[in-house]
């Protein structure tokens, strides 16, 4: 980990299941009023260039794979910052029939910023806290926290033979990485 990288963390923003409230507040962090760039924070479109991932919103069956995929594309060492209550617990949407829960069910989260939505100042604090953790991680270090595996329940493929369809168990549980 070079000294420079922790002083200029590049951030990729992933919108999972958010209501846009946290997203527009995160974008407001980058604009002249709050100006995240004075801390060297640069918003970048691709995960391959990023050091910190900012997650907003809870995770559902559809986007769990997208989030996991984006996380794996980031070079190590990497830090995940969860913005708002939704990536922490599922928030107000936790009762949803397709909502798995917080982002921690899919990727290891280092910093939680509470609020619905958090103020831009709090978001900046969260990113800077993430940069400190980033500085402490060794290059090519393996993530310490274990990642819980999620189960995605998908309906079985329709069978050609109706008799076989009746005999087949209804949902097939599939292990998704």
Partner 1 sequence: MSTIVPFGPQHPVLPEPIQLCLELEDERVVSVIPVVGYVHRGLEKIAEKKDFIQDTYLIERICGICSFMHSMSYCMGIEELMSIPVPPRALYLRVIWAELHRIHSHLLALGLLADAFGFENLFMQYWKSRERIMDAMECTTGGRVMLSSCCIGGVRRDIDENQKKFVLDQLKEVEKEVTSLNRTMMEDYSVKQRTVGIGVLSKEAAYAQGAVGPTARGSGLVMDHRMSGYAAYRELAIEPVVETAGDCYARTMVRCREVMQSIDLIRRAFAQLPDSELKTPFKGNPSGEAVIRCEQPRGEVLYYFRGNGTDKLERLRVRTPTFANIPAMLTMVQNCQLPDVGVIIISVDPCVSCTER
Q: Would you tell me which residues interact with partner 1 (CB under 8 A)?
A: 14-25, 27-28, 31-33, 45-47, 57-58, 60, 62-63, 66, 70, 92-93, 95-99, 116-117, 119
DSSP 31-80: STTT-GGGGT-EE-S-GGG-SEEEEEE-EETTTHHHHHHHHHHSPSS-EE
Task: Provide the minimum distance between the beta carbon of 31 and partner 1 in the complex, in angstroms, as a whole number.
Answer: 4
Task: Provide the minimum distance between the beta carbon of 35 and partner 1 in the complex, in angstroms, as a whole number.
Answer: 9
Q: Would you say 6 or 14 has its CB closer to partner 1? A: 14
Task: Provide the minimum distance between the beta carbon of 138 and partner 1 in the complex, in angstroms, as a whole number.
Answer: 28
Question: Pairing mode, if any, of strands 150-155 and 171-176?
Answer: antiparallel
Question: Pairing mode, if any, of strands 79-83 and 52-57?
Answer: parallel
Gap between the Cα atoms of 112 and 69, Å rounded = 21
How many C-beta neighbours within 10 Å does residue 97 have? Answer: 6
Task: Provide the minimum distance between the beta carbon of 3 and partner 1 in the complex, in angstroms, as a whole number.
Answer: 28
Q: Would you say 45 or 162 has its CB closer to partner 1? A: 45
Gap between the Cα atoms of 110 and 11, Å rounded = 14
Task: Provide the minimum distance between the beta carbon of 80 and partner 1 in the complex, in angstroms, as a whole number.
Answer: 15
CB 63 within 8 A of CB 20: no
Q: Would you say 119 or 129 has its CB closer to partner 1? A: 119
User: Three-state SS for 113?
Assistant: strand
């Amino acid at each position: 980990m070079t000294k420079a990288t922790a002083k200029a963390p590049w951030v990729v923003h992933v919108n999972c299941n958010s209501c846009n409230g946290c997203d527009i507040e995160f974008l407001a962090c980058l604009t002249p009023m709050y100006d995240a760039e004075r801390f060297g924070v640069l918003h970048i479109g691709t995960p391959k260039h990023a050091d910190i991932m900012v997650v907003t919103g809870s995770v559902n069956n559809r986007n769990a794979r997208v989030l996991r995929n984006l996380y794996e594309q980031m070079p190590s060492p990497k830090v995940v910052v969860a913005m708002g209550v939704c990536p922490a617990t599922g928030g107000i949407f936790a009762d949803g029939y397709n909502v798995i829960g917080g982002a921690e069910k899919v990727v290891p989260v280092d910093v939680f910023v509470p609020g619905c939505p958090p103020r831009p100042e709090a978001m900046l604090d969260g990113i800077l806290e993430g940069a400190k953790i980033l500085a402490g991680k060794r290059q090519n270090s393996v993530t310490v926290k274990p990642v819980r595996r999620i189960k995605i329940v998908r309906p079985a493929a329709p069978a050609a033979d109706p008799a076989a369809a009746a005999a087949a168990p209804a949902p097939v549980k599939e292990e998704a990485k």
